Amino acid sequence: MVRELQPLAATMTRETGKPIAMSRNELNGLLPRIDFFLQETETAIAPRGVFDEGGMREQIAHEPLGVVANISAWNYPWFVGCNVIVPALLTGNAVLYKPSEYATLTGREIARLLHEAGVPREAMACLVGAGEVGAALLAQPIDGVFFTGSHATGKRIAETVGSRFVKLQLELGGKDPTYVCDDVDPKAAAESLADGAMYNTGQSCCSVERIYVHAAIHDAFVDAFVQTVKGMRMGDPMDDGTYIGAITRAPQLDVLQAQVKDAQARGATLLAGGKRGPGPGNWFEATVFSNVDHGMELMREESFGPVIGIQKVTDDDEALRLMNDTRYGLTAGVYTRDEARARSILAQVRAGSVYWNCCDRVSPRLPWSGVGDSGVGLTLSTYGIQTFTRTKAWHLRAP
């Protein structure tokens, strides 16, 4: 993969519209994840003794699930695919991998490189196609289903396989909030959160999608945020200078336009963007609204694009209430100089991952999970290795 990084990045960019610099970032970021799985798997699934007394021993062991289905996503095809494929194989499973139909060539490259690395073809198969292929895959006698994608598709998958009592894991996105307290540098916070909202053209599961700013610094934050966003160049994804690339799925343009229209109709103030980009292709301008509220779709439903709403709040309690006013629960963040203040707020937020003075960050050492409509199960960390196993309890009495 290292030797082929540039052509692999180019393939991903041409398929998805991801800016080429971000495609390279994804591939470079995959290497430490693979290293983590290689270094930690043996220890994570090693049998562990928990009791030894009077001739009786108790032990916890881990066995492979068997054959697992991985229905993967297009926005980070290397990250999302390998978060499942690599630990599943290392823990002794076979994998039936269906990449997104919007990242088929990248999915085939993942399979090719694994086979060239020595993974037997009968242990890892790549299935090409759209929804009908996914449905056919779910009809097979599989032992686990690992899906990353929309809430609607995840719900259908759960309904399809739920009665079979196989391992089911669903990562379904979010409406991730961040609260900016009154004690931070508004410009620094704005620059960080603009990147968190717009990176990969906002097409990240953990993109910042709602921002709440304390009234004391609200105006300064908004000014700096808008200035930062207006400096983000939209253009050819193959150009290293491009920050805002193409929207991968054309239907998402209608979702974004509908959120903009609804926000304007309900009194929001448009500060940047707000419309499709010029020329052929799936372009949407980096869009910023202020004077928003939770009556607007923009603050309730996942945008999955370069659109953000910024809402003024009077104190921490109001911010916390609004952060939890959602059916999703993937990530949430707080920007403040006071760690105790951040911990107090984040401890009360319903989210699988929480951030203090950072955002849109994933680590192989920490579990990746969601609450509510953001899904069930987890990947990454040693827990994300063990998730591909079935635990077995051993009761051993010496004769």
Interatomic CA distance for residues 137 and 311, integer angstroms: 43
User: How many whole angstroms separate alpha carbon 27 and alpha carbon 78?
Assistant: 7
The tokens for 187 are 């410009």
DSSP letters of 176-240?
Answer: EEEEE-TTS-HHHHHHHHHHHHHGGGG-STT-EEEEEEETTTHHHHHHHHHHHHHTSPB--TTST
Q: Is residue 18 within 8 Å of 204, Cβ to Cβ?
A: no
Closest of 202, 288, 303 to residue 252, by C-alpha:
303
Is 205 an annotated catalytic residue?
Answer: yes
Alpha carbon distance 125, 142 (integer Å): 13
Q: Which of the residues 40, 109, 171, 285 is marked catalytic?
A: 171
Which ranges of the chain would DSSP assign to H, the alpha helix? 5-16, 20-44, 77-90, 104-116, 131-138, 151-161, 186-198, 218-230, 251-265, 316-323, 339-346, 381-386
Specify whether 171 is catalytic.
Answer: yes
CA distance 162 to 335: 40
Give the Cα separation of 162 and 169 in Å (integer): 11
- Residue recorded with tokens 């290397």: 78
What's the token pair of residue 233? 């160049």
Residue from 360, 107, 347, 318 nearest 213 by CA = 318
Name the DSSP class of 387. T
What Rg value do the Cα atoms of the chain yield, rounded? 22
3 state DSSP class of 347: coil
Give the span between the Cα atoms of 357 and 181, in whole angstroms. 10
What DSSP letter does each residue of 54-87 carry, written as one string? TTEEEEEEEEE--EEEEE--SSSHHHHHHHHHHH
Query: Which one from 205, 297, 302, 359 is the annotated catalytic residue?
Result: 205
Q: Which residues are catalytic?
A: 171, 205
